[in-house]
């Protein structure tokens, strides 16, 4: 029998854990597989850890890794994958927005031999603003990076052991999970799945964190901002030279004008502004390189249960 690992990041999810276990168990018990849960607590200070530990005492298929502090969802997912031992891994959030009832369909697809099965949201139960943001985010991202991440992807996705092992070879510190997934294998498929409201609790991704994610994604997977910088800078130089040439010709043959202070000051400001802006972009990359070259561990673990 094949073994399925559910890899689940949790952060302040005390209200949903039990319901999550209940709903997934019903589905998993009905399937011809063995299974385990690998929870990674990303530094919650509520009862999340306590609740999972209680359950882990009753059932040793429930495993838990506890981070010493919040390292972000991408690190939590990575740690969960690193501790999972299944032939297939299913990545899902515990808030039940992606319904566990869809698990058998993922299994069916993965058994056809795909490396990865993405869940695609049939309809998105989300506010207008959030939907708009998602659209802009994934749209620009695909344009910028050429990654071609499928439209409307949900969190829920299943992948096989080889895929997980490949994933673990990626050791960048700034990690954009979806980008890495697309980079690992092109042998994937999608299935449409239903959506529900978050079972309880609130979303941890406010606008600021979402912007951060967009930033991570673009700067990790694209060199376009750098290329734009170079092209823009070059065009500016050409334009400037052309301007000077025109002024000189005008002065020599046509108009005897006095160059004014305002234009000089203005051009100095513009040029300095542009320089600062582009230096800023470059330093963003340098900052990231700096972070990468340090090769710091992705996370620090405080505690493990059933592992
Ligand atoms: N999460 C995490 N670390 C964080 C923030 C969130 O591990 O710093 C987890 C959280 O517990 C949840 C998942 O990431 O399982 C997705 O978060 P959430 O449901 O709040 O986001 P949304 O579904 O609204 O995008
Ligand atoms: Mg959610």
Per-residue pLDDT tens digits for 215-228: 888 888 887 787 78
Query: Which pLDDT score, from 0 to 100, does residue 259 have?
Result: 67
Query: Which pLDDT score, from 0 to 100, does residue 4 have?
Result: 98
- 13 CA closest ligand 1 atom index: 11
The residue to mutate among 98, 175, 204, having the most atoms of ligand 1 within 8 angstroms of its beta carbon, is 204
Mean pLDDT of 47-66: 98
Ligand 1 center–CA 108 separation, angstroms: 27
How many CB atoms neighbour CB 163 within 10 A? 22
Q: What separation in angstroms does the CA of 106 have from each of 34, 98, 233?
A: 15, 12, 49
ipTM: 0.97
- 198 CA closest ligand 1 atom index: 19
Q: How far is CA 15 from the centre of its chain?
A: 24
Average pLDDT for the chain = 90
Ligand 1 center–CA 12 separation, angstroms: 9
Closest CA to 100 of 10, 1, 11, 195: 195
Q: Which residues, other chains included, contact 13 with Cβ-Cβ below 8 Å and sequence gap of 6+? A: 20, 44, 48, 94, 95, 201
- 12 CA closest ligand 1 atom index: 11
Q: Which residues, other chains included, contact 72 with Cβ-Cβ below 8 Å and sequence gap of 6+? A: 42
Q: What are phi and psi of 188, to 5 degrees?
A: -125, 170
**Does ligand 1 lie within 6 Å of residue 204's CB atom?**
yes
Tens of pLDDT, residue by residue over 122-159, are: 876 677 887 888 888 888 888 888 888 898 899 999 99
Tens of pLDDT, residue by residue over 276-293, are: 888 888 888 888 888 888
Is the per-residue pLDDT at 102 higher than 80? yes
Nearest CA, atom 16, ligand 1: 93
Is the per-residue pLDDT at 98 higher than 90? yes
Is the per-residue pLDDT at 8 higher than 90? yes
Query: Which pLDDT score, from 0 to 100, does residue 261 have?
Result: 65
Nearest CA, atom 23, ligand 1: 203
Ligand 1 center–CA 13 separation, angstroms: 9
Out of 83-87, 104-108, 168-172, 226-230, pick the least confident. Answer: 226-230
Q: What separation in angstroms does the CA of 92 have from each of 54, 102, 291?
A: 21, 11, 28
Is the per-residue pLDDT at 170 higher than 80? yes
What is the pTM assigned to this prediction?
Answer: 0.86
**Does ligand 1 lie within 6 Å of residue 98's CB atom?**
no
Residue 134: exposed, middle, or buried by beta-carbon count in 10 A (0-12, 13-18, 19+)? Answer: middle
Q: What separation in angstroms does the CA of 111 have from each of 26, 87, 104?
A: 21, 11, 11
Asked if 224 and 142 touch (Cβ cutoff 8 Å), the reply is: no
Mean pLDDT of 296-307: 93
Q: What are phi and psi of 120, to 5 degrees?
A: -115, 135
Asked if 160 and 87 touch (Cβ cutoff 8 Å), the reply is: yes
Give ion ligand 2 contacts, CB < 5 A.
93, 95, 97
Report how far residue 94's alpha carbon sits from residue 71's, in angstroms, rounded to the nearest whole number: 18
């Amino acid at each position: 029998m094949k073994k399925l690992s559910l890899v689940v990041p949790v952060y302040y999810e005390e209200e949903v854990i039990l319901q999550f276990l209940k709903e997934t168990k019903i589905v998993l018990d009905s399937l011809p597989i063995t299974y385990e849960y690998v929870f990674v607590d990303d530094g919650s200070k509520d009862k999340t850890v306590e609740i999972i530990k209680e359950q882990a005492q009753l059932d040793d298929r429930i495993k838990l890794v506890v981070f010493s502090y919040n390292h972000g969802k991408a690190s939590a997912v990575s740690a969960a994958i690193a501790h999972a031992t299944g032939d297939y891994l299913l990545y899902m959030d515990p808030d039940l927005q992606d319904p566990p009832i869809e698990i058998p369909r993922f299994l069916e697809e993965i058994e056809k031999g795909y490396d990865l099965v993405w869940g695609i949201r049939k309809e998105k139960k989300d506010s207008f603003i959030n939907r708009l943001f998602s659209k802009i985010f994934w749209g620009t991202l695909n344009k910028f990076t050429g990654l071609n991440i499928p439209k409307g992807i949900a969190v829920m996705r299943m992948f096989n052991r080889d895929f997980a092992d490949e994933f673990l070879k990626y050791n960048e510190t700034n990690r954009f999970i979806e980008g890495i997934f697309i980079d690992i294998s092109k042998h994937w498929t999608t299935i449409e799945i239903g959506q529900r409201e978050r079972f309880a609790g609130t979303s941890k991704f406010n606008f600021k964190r979402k912007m951060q994610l967009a930033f991570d994604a673009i700067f990790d997977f694209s060199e376009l901002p750098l290329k734009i910088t170079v092209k823009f800078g070059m065009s500016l130089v050409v334009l400037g030279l052309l301007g000077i040439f025109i002024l000189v010709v005008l002065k020599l043959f046509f108009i005897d004008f006095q160059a004014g202070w305002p234009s000089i000051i203005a051009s100095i400001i513009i040029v300095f502004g542009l320089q600062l802006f582009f230096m800023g972009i470059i330093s963003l990359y340098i900052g990231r390189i700096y972070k990468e070259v340090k090769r710091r561990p992705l996370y620090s673990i405080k505690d493990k249960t059933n592992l």
